[in-house]
Structure 1
Amino acid sequence: MARRRGNNEGSIYKRKDGTYSGQVTIGRNSDGKPKRKTIYGKTRKEVSGKIAEILTEVNKGLFIDPSNMLMKDWIKIWSEQYSKKKNRPSTWRGYETFIRNRIIPKLGEIRLSKLEPYHIQQFYNELKTEPRLDGKEGTISSSSIIKIHAILHKCLVDARRNKLISWNPSDETDRPHKEIQETKILSNDQMDIFLEEIKKYRYYAGYLLSIGSGLRPGEVLALKWSNLNLKEKTISIEETLTRVLNDEPNAATKTKVITQEAKTQKSKRTLALAKRLAAALRAHRISQVKEKLIAGDKYIDQDYVFATPIGGHVEYRNFYRSFQACLVKCKIPPVKLYALRHTFATRLLEDGEDIRIIQEILGHTDIRTTNIYTHVTQEIKKQSANKIDMHLRKKRQIKSQLQ
């Protein structure tokens, strides 16, 4: 027989399967009778704790009856109590942006318990025609829709775990698929022109690291001199610079720049530096020392390899603008900063480097990510055609000799 809890503990019982359940009054029905909610847990203490939390919310007027809870209510709770605590600040910033601008406006007013697969499917279909958030031309990318699906699915998984819903309606929708897009790189001719022109720019050594070692932009900007051993020509990647939401009380800005640990263990890596890279970094260090002398007491040394004239971190947007200005000078069509990393990987493949070595250098956890670089460039196609042509010529020569 189930044992009732002691005084002041409420109605908590041990169930036949060994778990516990209890009830808590969350309000009154229209007829004035108490409205109760059943709580489940593995232990008596767990159930008691959940009941105490609900009673606190009820007394403060913050409790939302699950049967009346809207999607916007739950997703806000989930964002703060689950997503924010589990994810890196940069990841959570992306989640928050999608939740605020995409999910809540479309699904927010639907009751959580009434959310159906067709609501979600219609949402995904409409997203395909939605404009980009950054103001650029075109519609939202397929990769963004996939991220939104992942957020929504995780949110509903946790709703089910909390017994707010009996099933996950996102499981019954057609999962968005990513459209395969060609990775943009610099051609050999463009690369030669770019490398000559970029020497004139302040962050020359940074761009050289991207195209010569495959570093991500955030990894370049987070580099400290303590990560470099120019004598041994090695570089250690440990952190990345990123912009995240600023949730500090009375913050003057909505976002802030932070240095955070590399995303995965594979991202943390030590690489060998080419001689040209080491030489460029030495020259850059000499220039930085001169800037320190000019700035005097205004210079706050934070050990950044790429710093402002007074020692602060370099903003990604400034690093990007300088890169785009160089492309204009070179008469190269606009590409993202990541094109330098893509170019590095593609050149290694063209030179016959093993795909798994490239995976290690780039810091990819999954070899499938590295495989995007196995697209065949036009130059490789021409080389292959020339090789086939040579074989065909040999066959024609043999045939003529036999005749």
Structure 2
Amino acid sequence: MAVKTNCNINGIDYYRLRVTIGKDRKGKDVIKNFYGTSKTDAENQKDGWMKNKLLGINHISIRDSLSMAMFNWVWDVLKVSGIKVTSFERYEGIYRNYVEESSLGFMILEDIQRVNVQRCYNKLHEQGKSYSQIKNLHKVINMFFKYAVIEGYLLRNPCTGIKLDVYKKEEDVGEIDLFIEDEGTVETFTDEEIPVLLEGIKNKKLKIMVKFALGTGLRQGEILALKKTDIKNMVVQVTKTLSFAKLYDDADNYSYETIVTRPKTKKSIRKVPIPTELKKDLAELNKIRIEEKLKLGELYQDNDLLFPSETGTYIDSRNLLRSWKRAFEGIDVPYKKFHALRHTFATQLIKNGAQLITVSRLLGHASIKTTEIYAHVTESTKADDVQSLNSLFK
């Protein structure tokens, strides 16, 4: 008698058992899938998982689906490994968005071969996912399989030999890595847009912050984390960053909090000279802080911040975003993200003759390859500038 199955994944028949294992934070049922070669096998998978759950044990089994095994790895290994909170948030997000409910995630761990992983990436590429997104997914999956091999769960890593360069496009310049420097699309402000933007900003503190970003190239989180003591002799010492991150108790319970952590990479810890023209702006910023402190009196929470909120605390990134968007209302400058100020800093330096290695160090890039994307932008600008000479020959 043929084995009864009820689903087919990548050409292989499985029996899938769907079980409600609890409620999520919104009160909705949490469904977990168990896969086996038969109904009995799937039920055994479920019974073993439930037993271990009651005992507080979350071992990885080669008969687990990749989704189940990676779930245990994310929460029982990664979360307690000492990685940054923001890094864990990225890992967990990649797992949840690309593995948990994917066709690859449904496969039994010991059945996964290199072709299955490559096929997963091919499908994502066809769906329009970028090289950077696929590369970062591969990093997380590869980390998991390396762990599974080291711990003896598997004999080989199916990620070995995976080809990623096939997903690159001609416009993919440099290697922009989510875990190192997620620059995204390179938006910059033109020479004509900058004065219009600055003139349109009515909030004095925000205007000084924008000037500071244009003059130093610091990331938003690095600026918001600065203390007054981080600036000496018009040089800013970058040693930390402010993040708005998920803090997890477990998979179903988390909260968003503002935290200060070390920068993304060792090279992000750096010293950056401040243009001397900003000296008067920093003096004005000091007056603003004093006025805010006097206004609130004992209610003011002095944290010695360079750019504090009106109450002396860290500026909430969501409030900054709202103020930033308001700055574009009624001015003839297209909206761009705050990060465009950092891009503008880099492209202006290169356009004015700065060496690529110098720009890379000022930006705190882990690799000069990331900085090369700005050279690509300036080359495009040069081409456009030359084409403007066509009018001379008409």
Please tell me whether residue 154 in structure 1 is matched to residue 154 in structure 2.
no
Greater Rg by CA: 1
Q: Distance in 2 between matches of 1:212 and 1:385?
A: 30
Q: What is the aligned residue count?
A: 326
Q: How does 1:56-71 map to 2 (within 5 A)?
A: 60=55, 62=57, 64=59, 66-71=61-66
| CA separation of 1:287 and 1:57: change in aligned 2, threshold 3 A | same
2:250 & 2:116 partners in 1: Cα distance? 36
Residue segments in structure 2 that go unaligned for 5+ positions in a row: 1-50, 173-184
Structure 1: gaps (5+ residues): 1-55, 131-138, 393-403
Distance 2:236 2:328 in 1: 27
| Residues 65-104 of structure 1 mapped to structure 2, 5 A cutoff | 66-84=61-79, 85=81, 87-104=83-100
Q: Which amino acid aligns with 1:304?
A: L
Query: Residues 58, 140 of structure 1: CA spacing in aligned structure 2 closer, same or farther, 3 A cutoff?
Result: closer
Q: Secondary structure at the match of 2:328?
A: helix
Cα deviation for residue 349 of structure 1 reads: 0.9
Structure with more contact order per residue of length (Cα contacts < 8 Å, sep ≥ 6):
2
Change beyond 3 A, Cα 1:61–1:273: closer
Deviation at 1:245, TM superposition (A): 2.1
Displacement of 1:274 in angstroms is 1.3
Candidates 114, 119, 128, aligned match of 1:117 = 114
RMSD of Structure 2 on Structure 1 (CA): 3.2
CA distance in 1, matches of 2:58, 2:386: 68
Distance 1:96 1:206 in 2: 32
TM-score, normalised to structure 2's length?
0.74
Aligned mates of 1:370, 1:243 — CA distance in 2: 26
Using the aligned pairs only, state the percent identity.
25
- Which whole-Å CA distance do the structure 1 matches of 2:198 and 2:230 have between them? 24
Conservation of the 8 A alpha-carbon contact between 2:202 and 2:327: no
| Partner residue in 1 for 2:132 | 143
Work out the CA distance in 2 between the residues paired with 1:365 and 1:65.
34
Amino acid at match of 1:60: L
Where do residues 144-293 of structure 1 align in structure 2 (5 Å cutoff)?
144-175=133-164, 177-179=167-169, 180=171, 183-198=186-201, 200-229=203-232, 232-248=233-249, 254-293=255-294
In structure 2, C-alpha distance between the alignment counterparts of 1:255 and 1:283, rounded to whole Å: 33
Normalised by the size of structure 1, how large is the TM-score? 0.72
Alignment check: 8 A CA contact 2:239 2:263 kept: yes
Deviation per residue, 1:99-151 (Å, 9 max, x gap): 12221111333211112234323332333466xxxxxxxx6544222211111
Paired with 1:331 and 1:387, the residues of 2 have a C-alpha distance of: 26
Bigger mean CA deviation after superposition, 283-292 or 270-279: 270-279
User: Could you say which residue in structure 2 is the equivalent of 1:21?
Assistant: none
